[in-house]
């Protein structure tokens, strides 16, 4: 069997699936992938950035198993200018609500960053409604439902734009929304720090 490995830059508003749902675009609108190729994990429709696809079913288990920690890097545009207290709260972990259950987030890497050189989102963030914004880079090893949005809201700085830049060493550097890159197996495994 020939295993295929892709990284894509999922655009804002697109579902991380092939099955149509509502009026959202799906991954099938980007490219006609082989029928056994599926996304590893997901990004919410209102999040952008790196999504991995493959027909190598072992990747799902190895990457999404909570016991096997993999660093995920996010670029987050938030409302306002978070101070040290807010950043330290997120670094140490905050309590968020997951479908009625309280969850203490794990320690995270959080730092301020300059606005990345990326295309404007379509539709763009409403700068009239949110005149003061800033960018953060977050490094997480867990991926609870809408976790980053809940974390930034908890410390008083709601997320306006959320981009997954990378997973371990695989990233969207030099990619544009909608881009697809086929990755050789060795590079894919090495980039994720997995043994073949």
CA–CA distance, 12 with 174 (Å, rounded to integer)? 17
Q: Which of the following is catalytic: 23, 36, 44, 173?
A: 44
175 CB neighbour count, 10 Å cutoff: 16
Whether the Cβ atoms of residue 43 and residue 23 lie closer than 8 Å to each other: no
Q: What is residue 25's DSSP assignment?
A: B
Closest CA to 162 of 68, 102, 79: 79
CA–CA distance, 166 with 158 (Å, rounded to integer)? 22
Rounded to the nearest 5 degrees, what angle is found at the Cα of 66, between the Cα atoms of 63 and 68? 55
44 an active-site residue? yes
CA–CA distance, 121 with 13 (Å, rounded to integer)? 10
Question: Which residues belong to the active site?
Answer: 44
């Amino acid at each position: 069997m020939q295993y295929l490995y892709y990284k894509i830059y999922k655009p804002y508003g697109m579902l991380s699936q092939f099955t149509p749902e509502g009026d959202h675009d799906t991954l099938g609108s980007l490219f006609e992938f082989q029928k056994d190729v599926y996304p590893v994990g997901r990004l919410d429709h209102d999040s952008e950035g790196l999504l991995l696809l493959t027909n190598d079913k072992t990747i799902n288990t190895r990457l999404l198993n909570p016991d096997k920690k993999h660093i995920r890097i996010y670029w987050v545009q938030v409302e306002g200018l978070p101070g040290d207290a807010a950043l330290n709260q997120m670094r140490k972990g905050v309590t968020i609500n997951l479908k009625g259950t309280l969850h203490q987030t794990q320690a995270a890497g959080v730092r301020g960053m300059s606005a990345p050189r990326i295309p404007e989102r379509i539709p763009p963030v409403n700068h009239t409604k949110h005149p003061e914004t800033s960018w953060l880079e977050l490094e997480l090893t867990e991926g609870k439902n809408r976790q980053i949005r809940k974390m930034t809201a908890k410390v008083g700085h709601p997320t306006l734009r959320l981009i997954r830049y990378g997973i371990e060493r695989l990233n969207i550097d030099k990619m544009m929304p909608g881009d697809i890159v086929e990755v050789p197996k060795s590079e894919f495994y090495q980039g994720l720090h997995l043994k073949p």
